[in-house]
Amino acid sequence: MEMVANRSHLRKLVLWLIMIVELLLFLSACYAEIAARKILKDGNSNPLEVGLQTSDNYEVVIDNGLVEVTIENPSGYLTGIKYKGLDNVLESRNQNSNKGYWDIVWDNGAYDKIATNHVKIITLTDDLVELSFTKIWNFSTDHGKSVPLNIDKRFIVRRGVPGLYMYGIFERQEDFPDAHMYQIRTVFKLNEDKFRFMAISDTRQRAMPRGEDRDNTRSQTLAFKEAVLLTNPSNPQFRGEVDDKYQYSIENKDNKLHGWISDDEAVGFWVITPSNEFRTGGPHKQDLTSHVGPTALSMFVSTHYTGTDIDTAYGKGEAWKKVLGPVFIYLNSASSDDDFRKILWNDAKRQLSEEIESWPYNFTRSEDFPHAEQRGEVSGQLLVRDRYIDKELVQAQSAFVGLAAPGYAGSWQTEGKGYQFWTQADKTGRFDVKNVRPGEYNLYAWVYGFIGDYKLDLNITIQPGNKINLGTLVYDPPRNGPTLWEIGIPDRTAAEFFIPDPYPTLANSLCIDEADKFRQYGLWERYSDIYHRGDLVYTLGVSNYSQDWFFAHVLRNVGNSTYRPTTWQIKYNLEDVNETGNYTLQVALAASSNAELQVRFNNPEAVLPYFTTTRIGYDNSVARHGIHGLYRLYGIDVPGNILQKGDNTIFLTQTRSQGLFNAVMYDYIRLEGPTV
């Protein structure tokens, strides 16, 4: 026995020695590669030039006289950003792997910080340094240990620019095993003593609680772990407030600038995202921004507000390559006068415009990121034909128009692998989608005020330099007959409905704006208070949807942590019914989570519903304080013989009650008469 044990110890020792030797060889190779190019500089003597140094073998430092960026070698972890009076903008007390990093959540919660094992200089001039940290995935050594992806993490520092550009090139080869990669992001953990003020929009900015204020000694966890009630925060100003990172979400199309300010130095740290092309799920997908930590994120792939309906599962045999980014980490400073926060925010906005102006960047060197002349453009004009609204064609004013991977109308909102290019049409419906990467796409659109999704029945192939004018396109939104009545506005959100005030004991002062009210915690519970006598009844001609239609069809709290399904009623009067005519009930949903919506006409006791959506949705928009998740439209055929002259009632039941958050949100409901 002892002999065997000794031998196995010996073997372990030898293996360790081999590993150490390999590591040393590897590190010296990295060093040699940098040295061999004769580019080692002694720091950065001319502040206008960008300099590169390797102070030792374990890190690389890029310095342009404005910022000094330190990256661990060869892992590619961002470990330091020195700026103005701050030795490190990132939290130096954290481990190197926990300061500035990419990470991927894949399969069932497997987590990978995608450390790389090789560094290469891509560009080294006085104007710019671009570094590439890579890792080639190897079945025999990496299978089951790390996400099956070839990784290339790029870092760029430019002369005269106080910041850092970052992008990632991720690639699956065809023979890589299945992987469900449902979250990819970069994370920045900022200096906790310094960055206390968060800004994510013109109206949503304020001093924030500290990370430790969320500890269980200082807070109380609410309905889920992300939401806490601050009971004993370090700054008493926040006592009694709720904090939940999902309250700071933003739609992709608006998620361009967010970050933090250090009051002591009057320094700002900003994540600037000049383009949405590399995000998933189209312009309306919501995602995280910055949150208590202080943490700033750049979200590339996630299931937030879509659930697993978003397509991020890759099968064996499926090759894939995608450039995520570049995003720009911008630093700015102001003199510490009274207005410095405003000055920093406005300067960051100005910088954002500058970054958007120069998109697509022309200084990146990866051939996987095409520059402007290698991209194409698609223009046209979208009109809407809805003869029950207007005999003429209507201009699709401000329509959202975009190119995404070929699919069905509306498929872009669950599309999670390719690039998407969106724009908003002008008042006349004219659109111009610029800077489209070469590839094959469909053109999609939706128009405010009209239900459904448009798709042009044509595969559009973009080649470098293409300028395609599609001319006039006509969208025929679903419609079978004249409007008898309608509830809400077809805008893919529940924002126009009644949004209650939060419980005063559960408010977050960052959502105080009327337009942000839906982001408050616990609104789902308000339904049971307001409708304590009975469920919602909406009477056409009497009720007003902005007061009388609760924004989410939620469960009723019957006490003792028990939640029951609710049935809402729509009461309306028909002067006449054509017994042989076909009516249509259009039900557009703005969100659904683990829900089943059943529809009954006039008979609430009918054992079988007239219509059911069946089990739908995982978007969790109620719990995540979204005002919408994924859009779904149901056109329900209603034969005249189930309606009656005079008073009618539609019964809407959300039947599932496994937890607290089974729910749907409505976007819009319309009853159409028979075709005339």
Ligand X SMILES: *[C@@H]1O[C@H](CO)[C@@H](O)[C@H](O)[C@H]1NC(C)=O
Binding site for ligand X (CB under 6 A): 138, 140-141, 358, 362, 406, 440, 459, 544, 546-547, 560, 578, 580-582, 637, 674
Neighbours of 622 (CB within 10 A): 28
Paired tokens of 78: 């961002």
Smallest distance, Å, CB 351 to ligand X? 13
Q: Are 120 and 131 in contact (CB under 8 A)?
A: yes
Smallest distance, Å, CB 375 to ligand X? 14
Judged by beta carbon, residue 268 or residue 418, the one nearer ligand X is: 418
Phi and psi at residue 641, to the nearest 5°: -75, -5
What is the DSSP track for 232-281? S-SSGGGTT-EE-GGGG-EEGGGTTEEEEEETTTTEEEEEE----TTSSS
Judged by beta carbon, residue 141 or residue 335, the one nearer ligand X is: 141
Judged by beta carbon, residue 211 or residue 674, the one nearer ligand X is: 674
Q: Is 582 helix (H, G, I), strand (E, B) or coil?
A: strand
Strand partners, 600: 651
Smallest distance, Å, CB 137 to ligand X? 9
Smallest distance, Å, CB 139 to ligand X? 7
Smallest distance, Å, CB 241 to ligand X? 28
Q: To which residue do tokens 């590190």 refer?
A: 27
Smallest distance, Å, CB 245 to ligand X? 31
Strand partners, 181: 106
380/37 Cα distance (integer angstroms): 50
Smallest distance, Å, CB 600 to ligand X? 19
Smallest distance, Å, CB 363 to ligand X? 7
Judged by beta carbon, residue 129 or residue 266, the one nearer ligand X is: 129
Helix (H), strand (E), coil (C) string for 425-456:
CCCCCEEEEEEECCEEEEEEEECCCCCCCEEC
Smallest distance, Å, CB 459 to ligand X? 4
306/299 Cα distance (integer angstroms): 14
Judged by beta carbon, residue 76 or residue 360, the one nearer ligand X is: 360
Paired tokens of 661: 């958050």
For the chain, state the CA radius of gyration: 28
587/368 Cα distance (integer angstroms): 43
Smallest distance, Å, CB 140 to ligand X? 4
Judged by beta carbon, residue 138 or residue 220, the one nearer ligand X is: 138
Nearest C-alpha neighbor of 361 from the set 382, 342, 341, 375:
375
Nearest C-alpha neighbor of 329 from the set 271, 274, 289, 290:
271
Smallest distance, Å, CB 358 to ligand X? 4
Judged by beta carbon, residue 339 or residue 637, the one nearer ligand X is: 637
Judged by beta carbon, residue 137 or residue 661, the one nearer ligand X is: 137
Q: Is 640 helix (H, G, I), strand (E, B) or coil?
A: helix
Judged by beta carbon, residue 65 or residue 581, the one nearer ligand X is: 581
362/104 Cα distance (integer angstroms): 28
Judged by beta carbon, residue 111 or residue 139, the one nearer ligand X is: 139
Judged by beta carbon, residue 544 or residue 658, the one nearer ligand X is: 544
Judged by beta carbon, residue 58 or residue 363, the one nearer ligand X is: 363
Paired tokens of 316: 């064996």
Length of the chain: 676
What is the DSSP track for 2-67? HHHHHHHHHHHHHHHHHHHHHHHHHHHHHHHHHHHTT---SS-SSTTS-EEEEEETTEEEEE-SSE
Judged by beta carbon, residue 6 or residue 138, the one nearer ligand X is: 138
Strand partners, 467: 377
Smallest distance, Å, CB 19 to ligand X? 11
Smallest distance, Å, CB 442 to ligand X? 7
Judged by beta carbon, residue 215 or residue 440, the one nearer ligand X is: 440
Neighbours of 148 (CB within 10 A): 24
What is the DSSP track for 605-633? T-SS-SEE--SEEE--TTTTT-S--S-EE
Smallest distance, Å, CB 202 to ligand X? 24
46/499 Cα distance (integer angstroms): 57
Q: Are 504 and 521 in contact (CB under 8 A)?
A: no
User: 505 exposed, middle or buried (CB, 10 Å; 0-12, 13-18, 19+)?
Assistant: exposed
Q: Please tell me what DSSP assigns to residue 214.
A: G
